[in-house]
Amino acid sequence: EVQLVESGGGLVQPGGSLRLSCAASGLSVSNFSMDWVRQAPGKGLECVSSISNSDKIYYADSVKGRFTISRDNAKNSLYLQMNSLRDEDTAMYYCARGSNWGQGTLVAVSS
Amino acid sequence: VVMTQSPLSLPVTLGQPASISCRSSQSLVHSDGNTYFHWFQQRPGQSPRRLIYKVSKRESGVPDSFSGSGSGTDFTLNISRVEADDVGVYYCMQNTHWPRTFGQGTKVEIK
């Protein structure tokens, strides 16, 4: 059974940083394209960053230059380093691959 | 690839059918011949769950009241008889073209 478990969310002031983690079991993060998808309160789904199995990387324009996606194959984990956080980054962040989604980790940016 | 859903709000009477449309800004037929178009359901307070994959294939455990159809750029999700358990937001999604993109979501509620 595939499981994706996110962690690392929390309350942070504008301009601050957070590092989200996604621990995977039942699949190898190195073999698949993996995504970070966020959902702002009351809003829809937005793919903010993806990493392909060939290390091609995508960032949404809204996070380009501030967020960095990476993975650790030995730990079978996906990461999202988020710097220079803004109020509008407040959202639930999901780790996702195909039909598999985690439970999400909540990021709140507020002074 | 821009995904456009309609309607964005869908009040339905219990036991009655419901239909959601999704249009993509370009063809979703992959070079391998598959169409990587999917439907997700998000119940209140839950992570998104994939209902339908590759246009018309139901995930395990999804009631046969749900069906998907379409081709190219135009797709439809049908619910033959809406039940209380079907309340939530429905998203179309494509990953024929990288990165995956979502529709805006259609909120299904009971009248």
Q: Using a CB–CB cutoff of 8 Å, tell me whether A54 touches chain B.
A: no
Q: Using a CB–CB cutoff of 8 Å, tell me whether A47 touches chain B.
A: yes
Q: Using a CB–CB cutoff of 8 Å, tell me whether A45 touches chain B.
A: yes
* Nearest-angstrom CA–CA distance, A38 and A48: 7
Residue B98 scores a pLDDT above 90: no
Shortest CA distance from A103: residue in chain B? B47
Give the SS3 label for residue A11: strand
Per-residue pLDDT averaged across B20-31, rounded? Answer: 98
* Nearest-angstrom CA–CA distance, A37 and A47: 4
Nearest CA-CA distance, residue B83 and chain A, Å? 23
DSSP string of A18-38, one letter each residue: EEEEEEEESS-GGGS-EEEEE
> For residue range B30-51, what is the model confidence (pLDDT) as tens digits?
999 999 999 999 999 999 999 9
Shortest CA distance from A105: residue in chain B? B47
> Considering only CA atoms, which of A102, A111, A108 is closest in space to residue A21?
A102
Residue B105: CB atoms within 10 Å: 22
> For residue range B60-74, what is the model confidence (pLDDT) as tens digits?
999 999 999 999 999
Q: What is the mean pLDDT of chain B?
A: 97
Q: What do you get for the CA distance between the two ends of chain B, in Å?
A: 33
pLDDT (tens, 9 = 90+) of chain A, 111 residues, equals 999 999 999 999 999 999 999 999 999 999 989 999 999 999 999 999 999 989 999 999 999 999 999 999 999 999 999 999 999 999 999 999 989 999 999 999 999
Beta carbons of A52 and B98 less than 8 Å apart: yes
* Nearest-angstrom CA–CA distance, A15 and A84: 4
Nearest CA-CA distance, residue A111 and chain B, Å? 26
* Nearest-angstrom CA–CA distance, A51 and B107: 30
Nearest to B99 among A44, A50, A103 (CB): A50
* Nearest-angstrom CA–CA distance, B17 and B83: 10
> Considering only CA atoms, which of A38, A47, A49, A45 is closest in space to residue A9?
A38
**One-letter amino acid for residue A12 of the chain:** V
Beta carbons of B98 and A99 less than 8 Å apart: no
Q: Which residue has the tokens 């996604």?
A: A22
Beta carbons of B47 and A35 less than 8 Å apart: no
- Mutation target among A22, A36, A38, A45 for the B interface, most CBs of B within 10 A: A45
Q: Which residue has the tokens 């997700």?
A: B40
Q: Using a CB–CB cutoff of 8 Å, tell me whether B61 touches chain A.
A: no
Q: Using a CB–CB cutoff of 8 Å, tell me whether A103 touches chain B.
A: yes
Quick one: pLDDT band at residue B78, thresholds 50, 70, 90? Answer: very high
